[in-house]
A and B are shown apart, each in its own frame.
Chain A
């Protein structure tokens, strides 16, 4: 055998003192600059939308038609008189802006900063919960079909079936069937939240399931599994102790991608009128609402767009860093 197993490399490295595996992972993760940046941005945005409403306590649905179409406070920075590329001073004078609405107001006088904060709450919550749901379903199905040979064909054909389902008609049907029931038992907003999260979760686990199954099939043939089996490890213990930790890195990576997809899917659903009520801001909806007036008020599209991009980018970088950190072959190099 010419290939050295990673475990041997890990063991042969000199060590100052005994460290746990997770400390190693963290050390490796920290050395990935992009991932650290991503983690910082994600944390900042998550804290911002969680505690933001306590600091910036304007109601995001409050209409103030007399103060509509305010521009962001930074508009004067783009003003000059010596080139055509910037805002001429005379049109700056006609603009309304001020600290009362730092990012301006929309065409009905709603504060853009407040809608951005509240929209972020929903978008990020939907993203996390839907992603967690998709991961749980995907991992369970992937492990079951990879480990239990009898279930393999059945579960994978089921995965193919779900993959082949067109998402939009499915969403329509689910909305029609369950909307009124959920609305009656949880209220319009929580009911729709549960529905959207379940719908996104239930339609985005398939990639994860396939990846996990493939990895489990490969792992099953490895010597350490044979060793574990030979000492009589029960099947459940095999999965939790030996298999799951080894497929954690692909799961983590697909989880980060899943978070991004969930945020984007929620935007699309809301736009089609299937999601939250129209006065309930989410980033996707803010973005879509802004497209009509993107020429005159680009900031209304830029800010929610930037937020979605930042979160998705941050999460992807974190995924990248996690993959490196969780892979013992790369760790320590």
Chain B
């Protein structure tokens, strides 16, 4: 009995140990020394308005901050403001044309001067200057003016009702610049201000000490940071360059670095690196979805260039039994295991994230070959001529399945072909070089927009957390055709009146819960009516050292958004 008590006590203290560590990371600013971060793409500038590259935006996010940003679950979080404006709290006007931000008083720039609404207004003018080439201009789309009634209030007015007004000044791609520093860098002069672009003054937890373009950036803690005792690290060494494999090794195998960004590596390679025991991989899931698009038009090569993949319907993919059977025959957990490991999850939905808008209607995680066969039999698809391929009314279930050239995608093709042939299809595979496939050249027959195949597989995603524009890709008028130079995002040429009506309703709805509900319904319509077969919800994989605490991988914003909260886990 005594032994048991002792063991229980030991177990309890073990369970409490992590909590003890969690408590221990409070303390004075800069207590934990240096942290090293490696990005295998090297930042070349610290001003996100002059570069669309993720690497530059994320490096800048250590210094520059937006008014509000997304947390790791995709929720909008106030950052430099007191609260996120909504219609309920009066921050967004009833007619959805203005949004009013209240800046938290007392925030200082790293040079000690106060942060005011004038800086916010300046940032708007900086980016929308007619002579400047602002990389984040889309964030300010539809903004007619930015007003500053007092030094802590910013009013953004839109040209038309905007149900989702969180574009400007939200997220790592739209941070606030200091008016005093960039005043002489407007318009065409913006790229010439090297000193300001390399060493911007910010409100973040760190400030730039030395910036070597495409190499190393050294940061030190910002003494004027608004939170007491943060950041825990006194300095950051931010190394750029190399490749994903080397970066993964540097964190997980050799321990030279504490954090490595975006490791696009096969699951077995990652797990081998993790086995070295110096660090671990963390996955974050945005809305990136690997899916099979079903062609709703006829891709028969015998049709002319104006009709191929334009005229409806597809010879057999318009039959619900066919596409439902195809979906049932797929073993999604196996695909995840083979292709993505911990950076993938089974998905049955077109919109796999953020959690608030994910539909729970479907379950597709179990493969059902027999059920798929029975479904085809019932719908009249039988192999009557004994060639191993089902047919009905003279239409054979023969398909061309195309995708881009990529080792994981070819493995997926082989597996899915095998399953589909088991249920009575004949599948021909084709893989096209990625630069051609995604190139969008209207002269090439091999682009994913032309879709000269029966089914095709690729991944797509959307920025931010609001799926409205992404869901807009399912409306009839977005179907690519010769008339639109094969541009248009409705790749499967899905077309349903019900969908279009519901989408129109989404565009004028402001209430978040109601928007989420409509988004779910739109997702369900397109998935259950033969628009696509969702396969794998793909995540982003990064790695951090075991001794680095506080990392919350964020796919909705800058990945290192909460670097001020990072700390060193003391192992003794």
Residues of A with Cβ closer than 8 Å to B?
61-63, 65, 107-108, 110, 172, 176, 180, 183-184, 188, 271-274, 277-279, 289, 292-293, 296
Pick the residue among B334, B430, B436 that contacts A277 (CB under 8 A): B430
Mark out the residues of chain B between 409 and 437 whose CB falls within 8 Å of any chain A CB in the assembled complex: 410-411, 413-415, 417-418, 428-433, 436
In the complex, what residues of B have CB within 8 A of residue A274's CB? 433
Tell me how far the C-beta of A274 lies from the nearest C-beta in chain B, rounded to whole angstroms: 7
**A273 in contact with B334 given A63-B415, A108-B411, A296-B268 (CB within 8 Å):** no
Question: Given the complex, which residues of B lie within 8 Å of A183, measured CB to CB?
Answer: 301
Residue of B266, B411, B433 near A273 (CB, 8 A) is B433
Contacts A/B (CB < 8 Å), 7 sampled:
A63-B415, A108-B411, A176-B446, A180-B445, A273-B405, A273-B432, A279-B413
Task: Scan residues 338-365 of chain B and give those whose CB is less than 8 A from a CB of chain A.
Answer: 338
Q: What residue of chain B has the Cβ atom nearest to residue A177's Cβ? A: B445
Query: For chain B residues 292-343, which have a beta carbon within 8 Å of chain A?
Result: 301-302, 334, 338
**CB-based contact A272/B268 at 8 Å:** no
Contact among A108, A188, A292 for B414, CB-based, below 8 A: A108
**Nearest CB of A to B535, in Å:** 16
A61 touches B414 (CB 8 A): yes
Query: Judging by beta carbons under 8 Å apart, are A279 and B444 in contact?
Result: no
4 further interface pairs, Cβ-Cβ under 8 Å (given A277-B431, A278-B431, A279-B414): A108-B414, A180-B445, A184-B302, A293-B268
Q: Which residues of A have CB within 8 Å of B413?
A: 278-279
Q: Which B residues lie at the A interface, using CB under 8 A?
A: 266, 268, 272, 301-302, 334, 338, 404-405, 407, 410-411, 413-415, 417-418, 428-433, 436, 444-446
Please measure, in the bound complex, the distance between the C-alpha atom of A110 and the C-alpha atom of B417, giving whole angstroms. Answer: 14
State in angstroms the CA–CA spacing of A84 and B545 once bound together.
28
Closest B residue to A172 by CB, please name it. Answer: B436
**A110 contact set on B, CB distance < 8 A:** 414
> What's the nearest-Cβ distance from chain B to residue A162, in Å?
24
List the A side residues contacting B433 at CB < 8 Å. Answer: 272-274
- Tell me how far the C-beta of B1 lies from the nearest C-beta in chain A, rounded to whole angstroms: 40
Question: Which listed residue (A63, A107, A279, A289) contacts B429, Cβ 8 A?
Answer: A279
Complexed CA–CA distance, A292 and B410 (Å) = 13
Report if A289-B272 is in contact (Cβ < 8 Å); known contacts: A273-B433, A277-B428: no
- Residues on A with C-beta less than 8 A from B302 are 184
- Chain B residues contacting A172 (CB-CB under 8 Å) are 436
* A291–chain B nearest beta-carbon distance, Å: 9
- Which of B413, B431, B432 has most chain A Cβ within 10 Å? B431
**Residue ID in chain B nearest A180 by CB atoms:** B301
Q: Which has the most chain B C-beta neighbours within 10 Å: A176, A188, A273?
A: A273
Shortest beta-carbon distance from A78 to chain B in Å: 19
Q: Report B443 CB to chain A, min CB distance, Å.
A: 9
A192 vs B254: C-alpha distance when bound (angstroms): 47
Residues on B with beta carbons closer than 8 Å to the beta carbon of A277: 428-431
Q: Which residues of chain A are within 8 angstroms of B405 by Cβ–Cβ distance?
A: 271-273
Q: Chain B's nearest CB lies how many Å from the CB of A95?
A: 14
On chain A, the residues within 8 Å of B338 by CB distance are 65, 107-108
The residue of chain B having its C-beta at the shortest distance from the C-beta of A175 within the complex is B446
CB distance from A24 to the nearest CB of B (A): 51
B305 to chain A, nearest CB (A): 11
Given contacts A108-B338, A289-B407, A292-B266, is CB(A65)–CB(B415) below 8 Å?
yes
Chain A to chain B: the 6 pairs with minimum beta-carbon distance, closest first: A273-B405, A273-B431, A277-B429, A278-B410, A180-B301, A63-B418
